[in-house]
């Protein structure tokens, strides 16, 4: 019984169709790699563009190359939805106020508001603009306070990164490949149709195998794709790859079919003998 179980496991591991269609029941590969923390304000700037609203409610996949900007966009989109419900047609006139409210609000990742980290204190809101206040001349105290807040922001960011990494790495595993290894490439359902020509729910989850020609960073690899996939970017995250285990003993050779040169065939024309039209409610079906 134990021998049969080991044989079955090895057969499934090396069998090509099973590897292409079998679902992944293990933890995702690739552990979290936090961004480096800047030493001073405006040292590093990230940018992302929000273009076009989705035409359907169907969600599409996207590779998160800058999670910090993506997360900020999510928060801004939530604020915009609330403003659209409140201000209706002229919601775009209130975008500067939404930006001010976001930057003047407390952020748990840095332990303060972005304006407080940038200017040393929170900015006065429009509600307080009409309130008379005495002007004060700030001196070295403001510089020292700014230095202390920068150090506090760095500590808060490091603590937030460690906390997020500990949560994510609990459900992920580390996998590495070498240059020259062959791997299968995972494709999502909608990309099978748009990019890879695979249609239907029951189409294979993986395509390939393809050879790894270069390692890009700790979690990405460049694949040698065929000519029909030349329009696709050839660098993929490790979570989209599955190891290909080749075994020459499991290769099934197709029987050769010999066709005789004297082989002939006869064409038989087909003829439609009758037709029928059936009406079901609104639609009509004809055959």
The domain ranges of the chain are 2-29+174-250, 32-52+62-125+139-171
Reduced DSSP (H G I as helix, E B as strand, rest coil) percent helix, strand, coil of the chain, to 5: 40, 15, 50
Question: What is the residue whose two structure tokens read 């002939």?
Answer: 264
Q: What is the pLDDT of residue 139?
A: 62
Q: Give the per-residue pLDDT at 73.
A: 77
- How much is the pLDDT for 223? 93
Structural tokens at position 285: 């079906």
Q: Under CATH, which number does the domain 2-29+174-250 receive? A: 2.30.30
Residue 61: the pLDDT is 47
Among positive and negative, which fits the CA dihedral 233, 236, 241, 244? positive
Q: Is 137 helix (H, G, I), strand (E, B) or coil?
A: coil
Q: How far is 172 from 215, CA to CA, in rounded Å?
A: 20
Q: What is the pLDDT of residue 202?
A: 64
Q: Report mean pLDDT in 10-residue bins for the chain, 287 residues.
A: 53 56 68 77 73 50 60 77 69 75 81 80 65 57 74 80 82 86 78 51 77 90 88 86 73 61 76 77 59
Q: Residue 16's pLDDT is what?
A: 55
Maximum pairwise Cα distance, the chain: 107
The Cβ of residue 30 has, within 10 Å, a number of other Cβ atoms equal to 19
pTM beyond 0.95: the answer is no
């Amino acid at each position: 019984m134990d021998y049969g179980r080991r044989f079955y496991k090895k057969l499934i591991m090396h069998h090509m169709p099973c590897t292409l269609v079998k679902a992944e029941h293990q933890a995702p590969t690739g552990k979290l790699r936090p961004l480096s923390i800047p030493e001073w304000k405006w040292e590093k700037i990230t940018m992302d563009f929000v273009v076009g609203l989705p035409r359907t409610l169907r969600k599409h996949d996207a590779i998160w190359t800058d999670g910090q900007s993506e997360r900020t966009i999510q928060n801004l989109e939530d604020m915009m939805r609330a403003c659209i419900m409140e201000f209706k047609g002229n919601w775009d006139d209130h975008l500067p106020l939404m930006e001010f409210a976001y930057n003047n609000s407390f952020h748990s990742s840095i332990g303060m508001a972005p304006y407080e980290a940038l200017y040393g204190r929170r900015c006065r809101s429009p509600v307080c603009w009409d309130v008379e206040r005495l002007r004060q001349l700030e001196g070295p105290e403001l510089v020292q306070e700014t230095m202390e807040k920068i150090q506090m922001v760095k500590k808060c960011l490091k603590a937030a990164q460690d906390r997020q990494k500990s949560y994510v790495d609990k459900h992920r595993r580390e996998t590495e490949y070498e240059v020259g290894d062959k791997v299968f490439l995972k494709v999502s359902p909608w990309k099978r149709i748009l990019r890879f020509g695979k249609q239907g729910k029951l189409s294979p989850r993986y395509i390939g195998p393809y050879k790894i020609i270069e390692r890009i960073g700790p979690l990405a690899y460049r694949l040698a794709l065929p000519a029909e996939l030349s329009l696709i970017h050839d660098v993929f995250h490790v979570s989209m790859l599955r190891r290909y285990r080749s075994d020459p003993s499991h290769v099934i050779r197709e029987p050769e079919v010999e066709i005789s040169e004297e082989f002939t065939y006869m064409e038989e024309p087909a003829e439609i003998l009758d037709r029928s039209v059936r009406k079901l409610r609104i639609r009509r079906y004809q055959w």
